């Protein structure tokens, strides 16, 4: 079974491909020659995930899944949330976004935060969604050089390391993306048996 993963983010692709599902081949937008922008016009992670999956599935008339992830910081009233990838502006880099969070969190005692991922599997005009959440905290400074995005300033509950200090294998023990993907993989195994 071949499924398109609606992303051009190579970091996300690498994380998802590290979570192997027997008998399922995951192909990226690059693999199918898609170079356009995927729509993300909604105010929630769930809606954006669905929009991307539906758009691609209908365009290529095939199975497709998309994910949308947000960092939700309590002291920032849930920001950056659905705007995590462009928190510091439409052309923001990972560094710009991290700097903005660190700046807004300066002096905050409440460092609680969570990563939330929603995967949407879209097939034949029907869809299913799978959610993964990892609770943690925002660090006061960057620590580590692995991963991407907000990884250097996020420490998951139950760990002494930031995501950016972890190998991909270690990160998958805590990962919000892996939690949602495990639910998705379980669903796929049931429908392909």
Active site residue 74: no
Q: Determine contact, residues 121/184, Cβ cutoff 8 Å.
A: yes
Q: Which of 68, 74, 95, 182 is catalytic?
A: 68
Q: Directed axis angle between helix 176-192 and helix 10-17, to 10°?
A: 60
Q: Which two tokens stand for residue 190?
A: 């049931």
Cα 90 to Cα 67: distance, rounded to the nearest angstrom: 19
Tokens 């250097």, residue located: 152
* Residue 50 to residues 42, 185, 192, Cα–Cα distance (Å): 10, 17, 22
Tokens 């095939």, residue located: 62
Sequence-distant (6+) residues with CB within 8 A of 141 are: 102, 153
List, in sequence order, every residue forming a beta bridge with 135; answer none if it has no partner: 114
Mode of pairing for the β-strands spanning 126-138 and 154-156: antiparallel
- Which residues are marked as active site? 68
């Amino acid at each position: 079974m071949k499924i398109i993963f609606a992303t051009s983010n190579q970091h996300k692709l690498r994380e998802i491909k590290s979570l192997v599902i027997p008998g399922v081949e995951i192909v990226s937008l690059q693999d199918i020659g898609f170079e356009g922008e995927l729509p993300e016009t909604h105010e929630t992670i769930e809606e954006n995930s669905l929009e991307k999956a539906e758009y691609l599935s209908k365009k290529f008339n095939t199975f497709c899944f998309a994910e949308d992830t947000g960092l939700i910081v309590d002291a920032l009233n849930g920001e950056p949330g659905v705007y995590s990838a462009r928190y510091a502006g439409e052309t923001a880099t990972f560094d710009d976004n991290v700097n903005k969070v660190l700046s807004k969190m300066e002096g905050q005692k409440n460092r609680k935060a969570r990563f939330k991922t929603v995967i949407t599997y879209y097939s034949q005009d029907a869809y299913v969604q799978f959610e993964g959440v990892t609770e943690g905290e925002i660090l006061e400074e960057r620590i580590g050089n692995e991963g991407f995005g907000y990884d250097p300033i996020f420490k998951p509950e139950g760990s002494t390391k930031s995501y950016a200090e972890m190998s991909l294998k270690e990160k998958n023990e805590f990962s919000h993306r892996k939690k949602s993907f495990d639910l998705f993989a379980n669903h796929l195994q049931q429908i392909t048996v």
